[in-house]
Amino acid sequence: MPALELTDPSVIPEIAKGVRSTFLTHKTRSIEFRLVQLRKLYWGMKDNANAIEAACKLDLGKGIYESNLSELNFCTSTLIYDINNLEKWARDESSPDVPIDMMVLRPKIRKDPLGTVLILGPYNFPVNLLICPLAGAIAAGNTAVVKPSENAPNVAAVMQKVIEGYLDQSCYRVVQGAIPQSTALLEQKWDKIFYTGGASVGTIIAKKAAETLTPVILELGARNPAIVTKNADIRLAARRLLWGKVHNAGQVCISQNYTLVDKEVFDRFVLETKKAMKEYYPNGTRNTEDFGRIVNNRQWQRIKKMLDDSQGQILMGGDMDESDRYIEPTIIRVSSLTDSLITEESFGPLMPLLPVSNLDEAIRIANEVHATPLAMYPFGNKTETDRCLAEIRSGGASVNDGFMHGSLPTLAFGGIGDSGHGAYRGKASFDCFSHARTITSTPGWVEFLMAVRYPPYEGKMKMIRRMELKPDFDREGRVKFSLARYIVGLGATSKTGGLVRYLVVILAALGLKQFFML
């Protein structure tokens, strides 16, 4: 295991200057260069798999299975997906809905790299949530500086070994450290800052970035609700929500923070959760490879205090050992929205349950506790889950499951409101580190068509009026029926629909012609 060496804050300005200078040489604009870097990063992950597994075990108590499922395999799958799709993503796009008289300008949208970006990683998934944003930054053609979380020091050291050993060091650098190093990094000018972590630090980063009008991607936590109605499959709901709180010892930003359970099925839900717990861990969670540990003693004490301050009743679990940073998965029945387990994000294996009378009450509580959570998990019939999706905002949602929407590396992932800004993963990672640059090319021979824009303007107003789009609705917002448009468009409601119908008619006519010629 490599030793972690903190970066001297005084050298950080030179590091940032170096990677910015490289970007200005246009070295990273080449698609082939980006592909080579992504391929090398893939092999860096594969070649150091054993070290990554060992580091995850030391920092978070993760077993080999979890380290591969949500760290290594997630990253390598992301890299392969990016490699396979990069050329397609990077192509110029033709601009949609261009007026016929403007097509001569050949408008297009080019995906330009932003420049030099800063990526600040978290401790809970210290490999996944550092490498996946970096892959997006590389794919989009940026240079980057990354800072792994100091709270997962062993993983941070291995990540530095991978990045320095496999990537071009003139383009991609690693800074190690805590507050002094982060402060020095935020003093530099970046073209985008990507941060994953808590809202308090995210607020500091956003304020500092605002001083230089630097855009930010903030992937934050939240008090995410789960809702279990009386029509839900209670056994499945219990199994799936329990998994959401035992995976990574509950240190998952998108796992449910609390669960609203219909009173009619509350006792059964608790019983099924206990059954699932016994099935998952026949010999308990204390001495199994399949259950992790809290990252450090400070976080362990924070979670313990939340439980100590709660007025709720423990229905399962509750065992703790600070020397081992162990907290047993714990179910708590709470009765108040002011309970510490509701008002704060636990980020641990605590599973507070709040009985509710009906879905109306559940939706009201979910919106009251946190109006814009990172995720939401409704369990019930389709009418009920559709209503939850319509009436509760969230960054993402998994219907009848626990955080599966965040487990797919090809889907865009991000928060809403105070649970985060922006999205990444899959093509969204490429897009969030790219600038969609609109480009037109005006040939000289069209100058006579441009005369309308030049002074003097006398006598040109009629031409402008003819170019203006006309509404198909009245002053009350009602769509006006046009018989002529209906006939010309063959009943279609859009130009595209009309063209498709004309094409169908033409093909049908040609088919009939061939038929009668036989």
Q: Which residues are catalytic?
A: 219, 253
Beta-carbon contacts of 77 under 8 Å, excluding residues fewer than 6 positions away, are 409
Residue given tokens 């990045």 in the structure block: 163
* Contact in structure between 1 and 152 (CB atoms under 8 Å): no
The CA-based diameter of the chain, rounded to the nearest angstrom, is: 89
Partnered with residue 477 across adjacent β-strands are none
Q: Indicate the SS3 state at residue 98.
A: coil
Query: In the structure encoding, which two tokens stand for residue 452, read together?
Result: 């309308």
Q: By the 8 A CB rule, do 257 and 346 touch?
A: yes
Nearest 5°: phi and psi at 171? -110, -30
**What are residue 216's DSSP bridge partners?**
193
Helices (H), 224-333: 234-246, 266-280, 297-309
> Which residues pair with residue 258 across a beta bridge?
225
Which amino acid would we find at residue 363?
Answer: I
Cβ atoms of 81 and 426 closer than 8 Å:
yes
CA count, 13 A, side-chain hemisphere, 517: 6
Torsion from C-alpha of 126, 87, 217, 157, nearest 10 degrees: 20
Q: Residue 355 pairs with which residues in a beta bridge?
A: 261
Closest of 180, 248, 183, 253 to residue 218, by C-alpha? 253
Contact (Cβ atoms closer than 8 angstroms) between residue 49 and residue 100: no
Cross-strand partners of 118: 145, 193
HSE toward the beta carbon, residue 184, CA cutoff 13 A: 20
Asked if 425 and 410 touch (Cβ cutoff 8 Å), the reply is yes
Where in 15-139 does DSSP place strands (E)?
Answer: 93-94, 108-113, 116-120
